[in-house]
Amino acid sequence: MTSEVKTLDLENKVDEESIDTEFERFIEMNDIDLDTEGLDDNTRRDIEADIRKVKRGIKDGRITIDDKGHATVHPRVSKDQKPITFGYLTGNAWMESDRKKGHQDVQKQFAVMGACSRRSVAHFGALRQGDLKYCQAVFSLLADL
């Protein structure tokens, strides 16, 4: 079954109905819990910001969702513009963060992102913020962070 995404010809953007459909497929197929009840305000705001970024990425064609629910980020401003597909997070992906020392939180995050996308820590380090923020938003939702 192939997903059809409706685009708007004038702006080369995905229509609102397709944005919600694609986002819901991503959430459902990855068993992501978006319930923010009982969470502190900062955590709730972070989740809402990630949701907005992913939906904006879908709308602008920066993020696509395949039939398995995998999100692919399509870099636009970084030197390397090869698409980055985020597969399912596994225990092995999380163990990649154990290889980093102490308080290297960004390297730990990039290590897990790399493990579930088959990219290196250096690859994420080289991405410009305009592309990296979409990768981080997808990862944060996948990781239920």
Per-residue three-class SS string for 71-118: EEECCCCCCCCCCEEECCCCHHHHHHHHCCCCCCHHHHHHHHHHHHHC
99 or 28: whose pLDDT is higher?
28
Domain ranges of the chain: 7-142
The length of the chain is 145
Q: Is the pLDDT of residue 63 over 80?
A: yes
- Mean pLDDT along residues 84-109: 76
As a whole number of angstroms, the distance between CA 52 and CA 45 comes to: 10
Which stretch, 23-32, 81-90, 96-105, has highest mean pLDDT? Answer: 23-32
The predicted structure's pLDDT at residue 6:
47
111 or 81: whose pLDDT is higher?
81
- Mean pLDDT along residues 101-128: 85
As a whole number of angstroms, the distance between CA 48 and CA 39 comes to: 12
pTM of the predicted protein model = 0.83
